[in-house]
Amino acid sequence: MAADPILTRLSQSGLSPEEAQRLREALRRAVEVGRSAWPALGLPDEAFLQHVVERLPAGKDGVAALESLHVEDLYLACACARGLPKALESFEERLGPQVDAAVRSLRGPSEAEEDVRQVLWEKLFVGAPGRPAKISEYAGRGPLGGWVRIAAVRTGLNLRERRDAEPRSDEPELLDHPTPDPEVAFFKRHYRAELKEALEAAIASLPSERRNVLRLYFVDGLSIDKLGAVYGIHRATAARWVAAARQEILEATCRRLSERLRVDGSEMESILRMVRSQLDFNLGPL
């Protein structure tokens, strides 16, 4: 097994040979516990070892810290962070009912419950440039079920606050969606036509498959679950597809605006926020 290269680096950071040996044995036990709990996930030992070592608290007894971790949960979370299909299915099967119960406890309408699940699954399993998926932040210091339930409740409350703050309108108009950011509001007023043109061009440039995914999700209103059923894929994969297509539109729109307006870095940041704040409100041309 591949514990030695990792422990060599730790030894160079101050571990004595005896401490390194104890940590080696503890890591071996952790891998065996995780693999025994989840034998079908296909997670490489080296990947889990690295995942564990990165989450050990600095300045403390590594063995004691390891023994306090919820290793089985951390193993599943590590596999999910790597996007392993079996891990995502196992997460859904084991923790999906707990998420549902947590969301129902907020006593919102049924459609709001589905919104919470969609947003939560996207946050947990879909990363972005420079920002890994949230599931990678789980460090094993408490049960994964409790960690996910808290995340579900927080997501539900955030969505409720956002809905309560939005003006009631049956047909949101492009660029008329209010924003509390004065700098973003300034760019909306002055670059309405340029943003509309760049956004529509970015949408038109998408490959047909990605356009279809966004059309089904935003225009036809299919949930992540139904989108997954249409394509025969896991819900987490469907969420990643939607997020990837949105990110592609965002980047293409910002690139076109930057070339058209010749703005500097700070102004580009404002344009980025403007496009992100309006993206979901202008997918009609799909």
Beta bridge partners of 48: none
The pLDDT of residue 158: 83
Surface-to-core class of residue 258, CB atoms within 10 Å of its CB (0-12 exposed, 13-18 middle, 19+ buried): middle
In our burial notation (b when 16+ CB lie closer than 10 A, e otherwise), range 122-153 reads bbbbbbeeeeebbbbebbbeeebbebbbebbb
- Residue 258: band (very low, low, confident or very high) from pLDDT cuts 50, 70, 90: confident
Neighbours of 67 (CB within 10 A): 12
Q: 175 vs 164, which has greater pLDDT?
A: 164
Q: What is the mean pLDDT of the chain?
A: 78
CA distance readout (Å), 157 to 114, 160, 177: 14, 5, 21
Q: State which amino acid sits at residue 205.
A: S
Q: What is the mean pLDDT of residues 268-272?
A: 64
Lowest mean pLDDT across 9-18, 28-37, 136-145, 215-224: 9-18
- 128, β-bridge pairs: 131
Whole-angstrom distance, CA of residue 246 vs CA of residue 239? 11
pLDDT of residue 7: 53
How far is residue 54's CA from residue 209's CA, in Å, rounded to a whole number?
38
3-state secondary structure labels for all residues of 143-185: CHHHHHHHHHHHHHHHHHHHHHHCCCCCCCCCCCCCCCCHHHH
Taking the whole predicted model, whether its pTM rises above 0.85 is answered as no
Cβ-contact 201, 248 below 8 angstroms: no
The DSSP code sequence of 237-272 is HHHHHHHHHHHHHHHHHHHHHHHHH---HHHHHHHH
d(CA 100, CA 104): 6
Whether the per-residue pLDDT at 285 is higher than 50: the answer is no
pLDDT of the residue at 12: 47
Tell me how far apart the terminal alpha carbons of the chain are, to the nearest angstrom: 50
Q: Tell me the sheet residues that pair with 131.
A: 128
Does the pLDDT value for residue 92 go beyond 80? yes
Tell me how many degrees the CA angle 259-265-271 measures, rounded to the nearest 5: 65
pLDDT of residue 268: 63
Please calculate the CA angle 33-150-236 and round it to the nearest 5 degrees: 70
Q: Which 3 state secondary structure label does DSSP give 131?
A: strand
